[in-house]
Chain A
Amino acid sequence: DAGVTQSPTHLIKTRGQQVTLRCSPKSGHDTVSWYQQALGQGPQFIFQYYEEEERQRGNFPDRFSGHQFPNYSSELNVNALLLGDSALYLCASSLVRGLGGAFFGQGTRLTVV
């Protein structure tokens, strides 16, 4: 079992550009959540996808959007990048009705210059 895999691991983008991050959930999981972790902070919830729909959303602007595919994999898109978007982006997979917690990927380190 490969667990949760994210790509790419590191990314450098210029302010104003757009970026797409990808996530494959742990085998058997049906729910994907995305988190932003700024340096020295705890992860902040961006949104969650289940059955290819956004199920919940945190306090993030519309520049942040996502998608879930029929195979449960997911993408996070960020438009009009700001310097403040520089962070570690974590994908977490889980079961929608499970209490077992979420499994996190290694994250994508995004640097906006």
Chain B
Amino acid sequence: GDSVTQMEGPVTLSEEAFLTINCTYTATGYPSLFWYVQYPGEGLQLLLKATKADDKGSNKGFEATYRKETTSFHLEKGSVQVSDSAVYFCALSGRMDTGNQFYFGTGTSLTVIP
């Protein structure tokens, strides 16, 4: 079945450091890929998405490229801020005829220290 494997945390970085969170997936067909962010005590917020191979999603300085050949969707940011501290979830959503069921990774906790 469809699944997402995500780099385990926690990750601690200094402000302005480079961030990479690895994500690989297994899916039949051509899924859409997403990164969601969860701040303490809150629900999930969509950070970025890509709906086909080689698409790059970007938002708030974060980027991820849909790599079909390596089945990956790694999240990157060139210079993290304290406000980026949160839990990040990689997710995929399958074929439209199966609805928008999401499969999530286990999440990666990021702490950015000043």
Closest to A98 in B: B100
Interface size class of B (residues with CB under 8 A): 20 to 34
A99 to B89, CA, bound (A): 18
Interface secondary structure of B, over-half rule: strand
A85 to B82, CA, bound (A): 33
Count A-side interface residues using an 8 Å CB cutoff.
32
CB–CB A102/B107 < 8 A: no
Which A residues are in CB contact (< 8 Å) with B103? Answer: 45
Which B residues are in CB contact (< 8 Å) with A42? Answer: 4, 6, 89, 91, 104-107
For the complex, is A90 an interface residue (Cβ under 8 Å from B)? yes
- Contact flags (1/0) for A57-69 with B, using CB distance below 8 Å? 0100000000000
- Contact flags (1/0) for A63-104 with B, using CB distance below 8 Å? 000000000000000000000000000101011111111111
Which of A42, A56, A95, A102 has the most chain B CB atoms closer than 10 A to its own CB?
A42
A35 to B43, CA, bound (A): 11
- A sample of 21 inter-chain contacts (CB < 8 A) reads A31-B100, A33-B101, A40-B106, A42-B104, A43-B89, A43-B104, A44-B104, A48-B101, A56-B101, A90-B44, A92-B100, A94-B100, A96-B99, A99-B32, A99-B93, A99-B96, A101-B100, A102-B93, A102-B102, A104-B43, A107-B43
On B, residues with C-beta under 8 Å from A are: 4, 6, 32, 34, 36, 42-46, 49, 51, 89, 91, 93, 96, 98-107
CB–CB B99/A43 < 8 A: no
